[in-house]
Amino acid sequence: MTAEIIVVTSGKGGVGKTTTSASFATGLAMSGKKVAVIDFDVGLRNLDLIMGCERRVVYDFVNVVHGEATLKQALIKDKRYENLYVLAASQTRDKDALTQEGVEKVLQGLSEDGFDYVVCDSPAGIEKGAHLAMYFADRAVVVVNPEVSSVRDSDRILGLLASKTRRAERGDGAIVQHLLLTRYNPARVAAGEMLSVSDVEEILGIKVVGVIPESENVLAASNAGVPVILDADSQVGQAYSDTVARVLGEERPLRFLDAPKKGFFQRVFGG
């Protein structure tokens, strides 16, 4: 059996890709799958911080690509789930350190080691790292904020996913594409300051697989080195759990789309 390759991508930075990659990989592992999550953002390296394993990085993705370390040496086993592994990016190399052959070798090695899923945390935009992150993908999670500039940039990414991947080149059918809406604020949507779910779906022509509400829990979890999906009491954690379940084929209704109604005293006295 070969591993399913999922790329988490977006047109612009700062929309929540690495937060999503960490929570997605963790959610898949929580469902019993063997999962590796790879940081393709050579030169920056944030995934290991959010996964809480930055002090355990000895070898990185680039070391494996260049044959300076084995996969076994470079994969960091998560301390919470024994079926979850992290492959960190290099902070010291430049973006040309990754090669298509090298990336293919790593993904092939993970398949041979019995991984069910490989989650590729793509850098933003359309440069080399982003192209390599999406090239071998079977499935894409396109992370978008409900604002016009983010949606427009995502449209370009959807075009690349349809044309610049190995599947497209071989005529093997399209990559399965999912839209994930992050930093969703129902009150601002209601006030006309943000696009609604249906607006984004209409513009991009893809159904939304999940809606992640705007929340301070994301930053707190990132700073603590804990994927926010593990904050099961928060709306964000629950929304990520719902999203992973939908990708695995479960039907769950979208939640957290409506602004909370103000109580009597809030309406009268403000706040």
Maximum CA extent, the chain: 67
Helices assigned H by DSSP within 79-127: 100-112
Listed as own residue / partner, the contacts of 253-258 with beta carbons closer than 8 Å and 24 or more positions apart are: 254/197, 254/208, 254/210, 254/211, 255/211, 256/184, 256/186, 256/211, 256/213, 257/184, 257/186, 257/197, 257/211, 258/186
Give the 3-state secondary structure of residue 216. Answer: coil
Cross-strand bridge partners of residue 64:
none
What residues are paired with 38 via a beta bridge?
A: 87, 120
Give 221-259 pLDDT, tens digit per residue. Answer: 999 999 999 999 999 999 999 999 999 999 999 999 987
Encoding tokens for residue 229? Answer: 């999906």
For the segment 70-107, what is each residue's pLDDT rounded down to a tens digit?
A: 999 999 999 999 999 999 998 888 777 899 999 999 99
Q: List pLDDT tens digits, range 114-159.
A: 999 999 999 987 788 899 999 999 999 999 999 999 999 999 999 9
**Exposed (0-12), middle (13-18) or buried (19+): which is 179, by Cβ within 10 Å?**
buried
The DSSP result for 134-159, as a single string, is HHT-SEEEEEE-SSHHHHHHHHHHHH
Q: Is the pLDDT assigned to residue 213 strictly greater than 60?
A: yes
Q: What are phi and psi of 89, to 5 degrees?
A: -85, 165
Averaged confidence pLDDT in the chain? 92
Residue type, 252: R
User: Is 222 within 8 Å of 50 (Cβ atoms)?
Assistant: yes
